[in-house]
């Protein structure tokens, strides 16, 4: 089972995207756990995590967060701004599946 953590400034703006990603996962019968956390909460939410995706608004934090994720061998990347802005859960889920292989 995949455990995907979406990370943004406060964990709020990604909550709607999490819902849409969960729906997209249900549609393809993919068993996964997806949740949103703030950048400050990331370290305490890495246990069992298979992938970390950053909201485009904190793209500038990628080097810092990538370092944290690399230490525990978890892939990390930034969500496409257009997919994030349109809350396209299917495209973001497809991206997550692609980079977590």
Distance in angstroms (rounded) separating the CA atoms of residues 64 and 43:
12
Residue 66: count other Cβ atoms within 10 Å of its Cβ: 17
Instruction: Band the pLDDT of 28: cuts 50, 70, 90.
Output: very high
Backbone φ, ψ for residue 72 (5° rounding): -115, 15
The pTM is what?
A: 0.93
Q: What is the pLDDT, as a whole number, of residue 10?
A: 78
pLDDT in tens, 7-18: 998 766 788 999
Q: What is the pLDDT, as a whole number, of residue 14?
A: 87
Q: List active site positions.
A: 8
The fraction of the chain above a pLDDT of 90, given in percent, is 87
Domains of the chain (ranges plus CATH)? 2-99 (3.40.50.2300)
Is the pLDDT confidence value at 1 over 80? no
Q: What is the pLDDT, as a whole number, of residue 82?
A: 97
């Amino acid at each position: 089972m995949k455990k995907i953590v979406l990370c943004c400034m406060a964990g709020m703006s990604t909550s709607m995207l999490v819902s849409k990603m969960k729906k997209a996962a249900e549609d393809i019968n993919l068993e996964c756990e997806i949740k949103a956390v703030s950048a400050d909460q990331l370290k305490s939410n890495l246990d069992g995590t298979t992938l970390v995706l950053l909201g485009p608004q904190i793209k500038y934090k990628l080097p810092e967060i990538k370092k944290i994720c690399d230490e525990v061998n978890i892939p990390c990347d930034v969500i496409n701004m257009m997919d994030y802005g349109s809350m396209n859960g299917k495209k973001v889920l497809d991206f997550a599946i692609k980079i977590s292989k």
